[in-house]
Chain A
Amino acid sequence: EVQLVESGGGLVQPGGSLRLSCAASGFTFSSYEMNWVRQAPGKGLEWVSYISSSGNTIYYADSVKGRFTISRDNAKNSLYLQMNSLRAEDTAVYYCARKQIAELYYYYMDVWGKGTTVTVSS
């Protein structure tokens, strides 16, 4: 079964750090580009970060640039999100999502984890 399982969420104080993990199974993880997407309580979806299959190409949303770092370990079938200098507005459910490509140019997120909750509060 194709599956993504996030972990590492929790309660952290403003200015603190947290590292999220996403364990992939049921597919060849090293062949897929990956994303992190978050959802603040009662709000919509916000794309956070992208990493290519090799890890060589990375993008961030402006809201997290300079504070968050995405990485992956293909040998461990794992995706990570290192979050530093956390703010109250980073409070959200964080999802990892697999990027799928159809007909060479159409990109979409076809597999999602169940999410891990990050709460930034004193």
Chain B
Amino acid sequence: DIQMTQSPSSLSASVGDRVTITCRASQSISNYLNWYQQKPGKAPKLLIYAASSLQSGVPSRFSGSGSGTDFTLTISSLQPEDFATYYCQQSYSTPPYTFGQGTKLEIK
């Protein structure tokens, strides 16, 4: 099975900061990579699919890049509502559709 590893596991930042979260796959997954945001007590919300395609309704300050094994999620200017946990997920071929372990973004 494909393993997904995110870094860092947690991150402290301030409103207005530019933040980057990294996700690495254990084998090449082309660009079959999704990013989700989850706030405490809530279901995950899709942000980006196919590594760089922004889901409808998601603010343009969110962007994704990468291909192969290395991917990044960037938030260009952090807003108060962005403090949450972020997960990457691979959707290469058949299931299991494994998730990364998550990156918790906290207010500095």
Contact = CB atoms under 8 A, between A and B. Distances in A.
B99 A47 contact: yes
A88 interface: no
> What's the interface size class on A, roughly?
20 to 34
Given A107-B32, A112-B44, A59 B95 contact: yes
Chain A interface, >50% SS class: strand
A27 interface: no
B14 interface: no
A47 B96 contact: yes
Contacts of B36: 45, 109
> What's the interface size class on B, roughly?
20 to 34
B55 A110 contact: yes
Contacts of A46: 99
A46 B45 CA distance: 15
Contact of B50 (A59, A61, A106, A109): A106
Given A61-B96, A108-B91, A45 B102 contact: yes
A114 interface: yes
16 contacts: A44-B100, A47-B97, A47-B99, A50-B95, A50-B97, A59-B94, A59-B96, A62-B1, A102-B53, A105-B32, A107-B91, A108-B34, A108-B50, A109-B44, A110-B46, A114-B42
Interface of A: 35, 37, 44-47, 50, 59, 61-62, 95, 97, 100, 102-103, 105-110, 112-115
